[in-house]
Structure formats: structure tokens, C-alpha cells
Structure 1
Amino acid sequence: MSLDIRTITGSDLPDWVRALSTGFLRSPEISDEEIEIRHAGLIMDRTQGVFDAGRCVGTYRSFPQEITAPGGAALTANAVSNVSVSPTHRRRGLLSRMMAEDQARAKERGDVLSTLIAAEYPIYGRYGFGPAAWVSEWEVDVARAGLDPRWSGPDDGGRVDLVDGPDVRKTGPELHERLRAAQHGAVDRDERWWLRNTGEVRMPSETWREPFYAVYRSAAGGRVDGLLSYVPDDRWDAKRPHCRATVTGLIAATPAAERALWHFLLSADWITTVVSGLRAPDDLLPLLLPDPRAARLTTHADFLWIKLLDIPRALESRTYPAPGSLVLDVHDPAGLSAGRFRLDASPEGASCTATTESADLSLGVGDLGALYLGDESAVRLTALGRVAEERPGASALADTLLRTPRRPWCPDVF
């Protein structure tokens, strides 16, 4: 029997959710409450399913998103999530067909790019996505770190206060918008995000443990400039504490707020180990410590992948630290983003137009995606043979134009 790939309806939803749980190795037992909660977060005409004899065996959805480009511009993105194919139906091109449909519609809508968090590295490069932002996680031995255990608060006149979930839902969105305006790679958070991530809306199949929340208030007016959430455990041995605190979120609009919140957590009584959560690879944390070796790197991996759908708009929307011109010959296996483009950039602005001029660099759209947020090096990709330098020095010029002083970071899984 032929496979039916289509957008789903409300009556398909229980089977679709079960297929999603199957693909993500979760329990196939799905409650009506979970179906209702998931339904509220779906855009049905952007949610696809694969059906074999009436049973859902593949899932895919997308939703509108904004992502911050270098320089602070908010770009419209097509965020891809909930991708699964049941193990009985692998290697039949099902993801390729769902991806092609969704990306073509995103291009027609005028989305500048598509985003996703890749569960596995090898999957999405063949569709033109590139790893644009990485993450790192550290485990800190607090005793070795060398911070003053008697730290009692910021020395800049600010203060750290414990708050509750309702307070976070009031102050968190405005703080996140301030962070997002400055942090390239960050994405927007809607009201549903804050409800889910403060436990107000809870998925029955997911374990929820209420975290502690702490905010940093600035000396000038008490404005909330930073927010920390963490979950501690309670471990003792021979009357000695061995408690571990896992950070579930830390966002800050100022370096002072970020430093203060790390100091707060690393000096809390009984906590001997802090797990940082997924941070930017150039986070302040290791060098914040008098002994950076107390922070053991436990994760360093690709995280946010992007595909540029509208290359001229994407390149014109970001900022550049120096003047320069490049002709890019971009290849796209899907044909959506292929072309030759001339970029004329300067600190005052940029233009990017189609051209027939000889190329300076030839590269796949996925490699351009890896370069776009400023994290990857064109010189390194050239050395790897993934970028072809058609004019001597063009890779170095690309790095001068595209690389950013701080690395991009996406704080959110989606």
C-alpha cells in the first residue's frame, strides 16, 4: 500500500503524537491531556504526517520564529521541529519529501532562513543546513574553583533575589527580549514557552521538578538584568554535603548580571558541584573562576543549524566590521537557494545582488549557513575542501567580514 504524506487534521493528532513518541523513544501511551496540550502548540497546516494503512509512521512540523543576526536584526525564520520516522519505515525518503514540501512553502512565504536543532549530525547537511552555533557544558568542582565561599552579594550595588514562577513570567519576557536584541543566534520566546518552562503548563509524560529562580537587580532602579533557574539535589555522605546544582537556564542582559548569578550559585551553601547547562562555547564561566581548570568540559557540540532561503536579504540584514566585496557561488541540492551573489559590505551597511561575475568563493548553502552567524571560519572550510577559493585571499576576506568577536548562542531547544 502506498504511503500517504499530508498535513494532518485534528482526528489524526492522537496517532501523530504516538508516532512522535515512538520516534523519540518515549512511551507510546499518550493521555488525552497531552494530546490537548500538544494540539495547542501546533500550526496544523504546517504539521505533516506519513501514514501507512492509516497508521502514522512519520512526523514533521514547522512554526514561525525570529532569530537575531549579527548586529541585532530580527529575521523571520521557519523553525523545524518534531521530526521523526518510525524504525519500520526508515530509508524510504520520507523525511526528504516532508522537508522538500516545508522548505518550498517557507521560501514562498518569504522566510529568510530555516532553523532546527539537530538530534544527529549527519542528517541535515544533505538538505542544505549548516551548523551555525555550537554549545558547551561544564561541570564545576566548586571547592577547587577558588571563589570566595563567603560571597554575600554583588559589589556593584546590585542585588540577587530569589523569586517564584509567576514573577519569572512577569519579568522574564522583557529581559529575554533585551538579551535577544544583542545576542546573535538567539530566538524569540512566546507566551507558551514561558508557561511550559515555569511549570504552569505541564506535559503528563514529562517529569517536572520545580527549579529555584534567582534574579539580578541592577543598582540603578532595581531593573532585572539577569535570570537564573537551577535544580539542586540533596546528597550527603558521612555528614558531609555533596549536593549538585544543575542550571536549567541563565540569561543576562549585562556582564555584571551574568557574573553575579554565577557567583551566587557557586557560593551557595552545600553545593559542591555545578552543572552549567548548555552555554555558548565562549561563555564567561570557565575564566570567571580563579582556577578555570575546576570547570571540566563535558559537552561541546553543534546545536543550532540554519539554511539560508533568501541569501540577499540574509546578507544585507547583518552587520560587517570592515569594507569588502565578495562574489559567492552558492550550491543548493534542493535548488531553493542556489545562485551567484555579489556582496558589497561595510560598517555602514551592505548590498547583495545576483551577478554573473566570476566567483571569489564557491560553496554549498550549508557551509554558507555555518558561516552566517560568524562562528565558522572560511579559511578552515577551505582547508577542509568544503569551500573552493577561486580568488587568492577570498577566504581570509570572508573571515574578516563574517566572523564576530563573540560566538553566536541559541539558549533554547525547540
Structure 2
Amino acid sequence: MTAPDVRTVTLSDFPDWLRALNTGFLRPPTPSDEEVAGRLGYMDLSRAQGAFDAGRCVATFRSFAQELTVVGGATVPTDAVTNVAVSPTHRRRGLLSRMMAADLAAAKERGDVAATLIAAEYPIYGRYGFGPAAGATEWEIDVHRTGLNPHRPVPAPGDGGRIDLVDGAEIRKLGPALHDRLRARQHGVVSRGAHWWNRLTGQTLFPKEPWTEPFYAVHRGPDGTVDGMLVYRADENWSDAKQPLNRATVRSMIAVTPAAERALWHFLCSVDWISTIRTGYRPADDLLPLLLPDPRAARVVTQADFLWVRVLDVVRALEARTYAVPGSLVLEIHDASGPAAGRFHLDASPDGTTCTPTTRSADLAMGVGELGTLCLGDESVSRLAALDRVAELAPGAAASADAVFRTARRPWCPDAF
């Protein structure tokens, strides 16, 4: 049996590549001409790979340029991996491994600090050096139990802000600058291109993906500057007793001040007829439950890994972020595929950090996937050591590393990609 040919996708290949992608994600397989044209409008085919067997595409893979905000607000160039699918007829033949190896090698050559992805399934990507770096939590709010006064104006008098309902065009105008402010303060956030905003506001529509126009709201601070944005949909559901039981589902909510965050959640809880709210994916330490007089009105319905990181350049990854406390550690990184392997001396300080290759004895040893899990500050080194995923080679090194790596707030990636 001849092995499938893995290669860069051409324009003539693309409809078949898209059919294979739809097949892998259990969507109606045959793409329409409109879907082909729509997706070609934002894709870079030079970074799309396919596996072809007897002329038919049986596996897909794509990456694109991205920036990831690290601890402290700096951004690093990353290789965002997406559209990974292997047809059920061709599983366990190493096709994903071949495409991943080619893509990561190209990313390293370009100078990307890391690769990122949103894992559809947990067990797949650890073997390629990815580690879960930021989780996601979704709450369902029972509006009537929140304890909020439904007759209270939102924002409350004296808050100095206001909330305005706007349209999609206004969101496309105001959203990018607001998101850039979020990126400067929240580690784990990734860059958004124009295509993202077009999808959010219905400017870009694909056949077979139903579109319902959402509601758009912005919060303006006392000086009139937009510091929060909320996009939500609502269903239409009434009880047999003619009581409204409508559910609002948040598609996007970002805020760069606690006042804006509080005002937008209180606003949504005050909308007539809304009895339940699905929050969408939020950071695990979101302010939301504690913004309510009765936090038990918000129950967790989803809590899982979300953003995965694969470090390609250890020195740049560790020097790019900031550290709240000083610390000196020698880390030995195991990386079977090579790019991140080595021993590195991290000399961290709030005033500046260096990371250099070294031959000194290691304090901690770990795989590159564990480094990805630790790099945004969300996981405990001591916890990983207890699981035998990190080896503590010097007494007390795990506790010292926790003090150096952990952050006061947890990372958050608002976007699937």
C-alpha cells in the first residue's frame, strides 16, 4: 500500500481539502462554491497542508500567524494550528505526525516563539509537545436568584458610565481598539484579525452555518471611552403559565475595567424576559460569580482545558514574560523532536530577566509540554511534581519555581480558532 502524499494545498486542491475538513468535523461534507470562496478569502494556502491518497484528500492541517500575550503584557509571535482533521478511513497512519512536524519546523525557521491550538480532544497533542496552558469556565446564571434589584438602573446612578446598544458596524469600528487594550493587560489573549470581527457581526457568512443577528452593547466610562463590549443572543421560550423563560447566550464579552465588567453583567441580568444566561467561556477566576449578591446563582456548566502551548524557543518564551518575585532556576527541558531541548538558567527578577543555555546541574527537569503548561502561570510546579510530570532534582526547587512562575490572576484566551 502506497503511503498518502502529504503536501501544501494548491488552489485546485482546495474544494477537496475543504470536503475532507468537513468530513473530519462531522459537517455536511460537500462544500458549496460560496463556502469555498468565503474561506479562501481569509486563508493563506501556503500554510495549509493536505494528505492525498489516490488523488483524494484524506487529512487536513492549517496554521496562521498569531500573537500571544504573555505574563506582563508583552506579545510573542506564535504559530496558530487549526483545521486538523484525519478521515476515519486513514487514522493511525502517521498523517498528523507528518503534517505537524513540517509545520513546527517551518514555525521554528520563521522565528515563532511557540505554537498554539485549541484541542478538540485532550489525548492528541501532548505527544507533539503541547501542554494545556489556559483553561475555560462557563457559568449558567439563574437570573431570578442573583439577588440583583431588577428595578435598579444599569449602570447605577453615580457610576459615571453608560451602556449603549449599537449595531455590528459599530462593533467592527470600536472592537479592535478595545481588544488591543485587553491584550495589553490579560495574558493568554491572542490576536484577532478583521476576519474574526466579520464573523462575529455577520459580515462573513458560510452556508450551512445558520446566522441569527445578536444584540450588541458597549460600556463607556465616565470620559466617554469604550471600556467594555457585550454580544449576546436570546431565544424565545415561554412557560405554559405564560411566564417568560428566555435564555441569553453570550457570544463575546470583554472589559478592561472592573466597573465595565460589573455593569455589563448587571445589564444582561436586568433585560426583561431573560431568566437564564449562558456566559460563554470565561477565565476560571472570573469576577462574575462574586459580582452577584448571591454567587450561587451562577453554577459552573463547563470547566476544561482550552488554550494549548508548544514552546519552540525556550529563551525567548521565558524572557518575554515578567516575574513578580526574583528567582534563579536551572531547567532541563526534554523535547524528543528537538527545538526546545536543552538546559537553561532562568534568572528572573521584577526588574529584568535573562534565560541562557547552561551546563550547570538542573534544579528541575520536565518535558516541553510541561513547560507549555507552566509558561502562562496557570499551573503549579509542585502539583506536576506530585504527578511525576516534573522531576525535582534540587530540594525545594518546585516551591521556588511556583513562587517565580505563578501569577496573581489566571490566564484567559477568549477565542477559539
Name the TM-score, length of structure 2 as normaliser: 0.98
Q: Partners of 1:151 and 1:400 in 2: how far apart?
A: 43
Q: 2:222 aligned with 1:187, yes or no?
A: no
CA distance in 2, matches of 1:397, 1:312: 19
Which blocks of at least 5 consecutive residues in structure 2 are unaligned? none
1:137 corresponds to 2:143: no
Q: CA deviation at 1:318?
A: 0.4
| Map of 1:97 onto structure 2 | 98
Equivalent position to 1:277, from 275, 280, 301:
280
1:7 paired with 2:8, answer: yes
CA deviations over 1:164-221 (Å, ceiling 9, x no partner): 000000000000000011010001111111111110110112111111001001111x
- Match in the other structure for 2:88: 87
Instruction: Name the CA distance, whole Å, in 2 between partners of 1:325 and 1:167.
Output: 48
Q: Does 1:209 align with 2:212?
A: yes
Larger mean CA deviation between 380-389 and 147-156 belongs to: 147-156
Query: Structure 1: how far apart are the matches of 2:93 and 2:399?
Result: 41
- Equivalent in the alignment of 1:172: 175
Equivalent position of 1:110 in the other structure: 111
Q: Distance in 2 between matches of 1:50 and 1:369?
A: 28
CA contact under 8 A between 1:217 and 1:223: conserved in structure 2?
yes
**Secondary structure, aligned partner of 1:227:** strand
Work out the CA distance in 2 between the residues paired with 1:2 and 1:143.
Answer: 60
Q: Could you tell me which residue of structure 2 aligns to residue 286 of structure 1?
A: 289
Matches within 5 A, 1:14-413: 14-155=15-156, 156-220=159-223, 222-237=224-239, 238-413=241-416
Contact 1:136 1:281 in 2 (8 A): yes
Which amino acid is 2:398 matched to? Answer: S
Deviations 1:290-330 (A, max 9, x none): 11111111000000000110000110110001111000000
Q: Distance in 2 between matches of 1:219 and 1:111?
A: 40
**CA distance in 2: counterparts of 1:53 and 1:252, whole angstroms:** 51
1:154, CA displacement in angstroms? 1.6
Q: Is the 8 A contact 1:151 1:264 kept in 2?
A: no
Q: CA deviation at 1:151?
A: 2.4
Q: Which blocks of at least 5 consecutive residues in structure 1 are unaligned?
A: none
Q: Given that residues 68 and 184 in structure 1 are in contact (C-alpha distance below 8 angstroms), is that contact kept between their aligned partners in structure 2?
A: yes
For residues 155 and 198 of structure 2, what CA distance do their matches in structure 1 show? 30
Aligned-partner SS, 1:29: coil
> How many Å apart are 1:289 and its aligned residue?
1.1
Distance (whole Å) between structure 2 residues aligned to residue 276 and residue 193 of structure 1: 19
1:229–1:249 contact (8 Å) kept in structure 2: yes
Taking the aligned partners of 1:37 and 1:402, their CA distance within structure 2 comes to: 42
What is the RMSD computed on CA atoms of the aligned residues? 0.7
Q: Are 1:145 and 1:289, in contact at CA under 8 Å, matched by a contact in 2?
A: yes
Letter matched to residue 253 of structure 2: L
Distance 2:396 2:206 in 1: 53
The CA deviation at 1:333 is 2.0
**By how many angstroms is 1:29 displaced?**
2.4
Q: State the SS of the aligned residue for 1:241.
A: coil
Instruction: State the Cα deviation string for residues 235-282 of structure 1 (Å, max 9, x = none).
Output: 111211001000000001111101100000011111000000000001
Contact 1:247 1:277 in 2 (8 A): yes
For residues 11-58 of structure 1, give each alpha carbon's deviation from its aligned partner in whole angstroms, at most 9, with x where no partner exists: 000000000000000001210010011112211111000000000000
Residues 384-406 of structure 1: per-residue CA shift (max 9 Å, x gap): 11000000111111111111100
Amino acid at match of 2:306: F
Amino acid at match of 1:268: V
**How many pairs align?**
413
> What SS is found at the alignment partner of 2:148?
coil
Q: What CA distance in whole angstroms lies between the structure 2 residues aligned with 1:205 and 1:348?
A: 52
Report the Cα offset of residue 89 of structure 1.
0.3
Identity of aligned residues (%): 65
Task: Verify the 8 A CA contact 1:126 1:333 in the aligned structure 2.
Answer: no
> CA separation in 1, counterparts of 2:232 and 2:271?
12
The secondary structure found in structure 2 opposite 1:161 is strand
Kindly indicate whether the alpha-carbon contact (under 8 Å) linking 1:151 and 1:263 is maintained by their aligned counterparts in 2. no
Moved over 3 A (4+): none
Three-state SS of the structure 1 residue aligned to 2:184 is helix
